[in-house]
Amino acid sequence: MSGGETSRSQQTMLTILALFAGLALSAVWGLAAGSTSATLALANAYKVPMVILLSALTALPAGLVALRLLGAPLPAQQLVGAFASAIFGGTLVLATLAPLVAIYYHTSSKAGLPLALGSVFVALATASLLFARAVVRRLADHPRRASSFIAVAVLVVLFLAALLQFVGMASPIIDAGTRFDGGFDAVFSR
């Protein structure tokens, strides 16, 4: 093993560390988003990480099955590692924007809610881009990498679908009601 490579156990440790650090970072955003009420803030400290973890655990098996069924060249452990790193990156964005979310929640009746929701969408976009970039790097010169990207797409789509439902189940997360509070049915109702 050369100096730049990591062993399987080191990669597993980094994956677990990225996931748990990401969950801790998401709790910071949960505290900020619920900061108008001490009860909501404390509840969000466990609800937001729970929503992210359950969404990841819901989507991951389908991504791994897609990886195997497509005969993708990406090893399962690398897919999981890239996914955990993406979750960490997305939740880092949430934690970075948490002070701004808290400030606007307390000082602006018009900007607080859009800023909180916007921070979530920025975090999701960042995580998706980081996930794709990590997979691209791992398969830079592989001729059959398209099948790995299909597995990544399956994982991301199912993560978002699960996230939508778990947010609905864990509501309220944000003090003001949103369309996301009712999950899929509320978002896509006429």
Per-residue pLDDT, 190: 65
Q: Give percent of the chain with pLDDT exceeding 90.
A: 76
Domain boundaries, the chain: 8-187
- Give yes or no for a contact between 170 and 47, defined as CB atoms under 8 angstroms apart: yes
Q: For the whole model, what pTM was predicted?
A: 0.91
> Model confidence over 95-154: pLDDT tens digits?
999 999 999 988 988 898 999 999 999 999 999 999 999 999 988 887 778 889 999 999
d(C-alpha 171, C-alpha 166), whole Å: 8
Mean pLDDT of 179-183: 82
- Give yes or no for a contact between 109 and 103, defined as CB atoms under 8 angstroms apart: no
- DSSP codes of every residue in 28-73: HHHHHHTTTSHHHHHHHHHHHHHHHHHHHHHHHHHHHHHHHHTT-S
How many other CB atoms sit within 10 Å of the CB of residue 92? 19
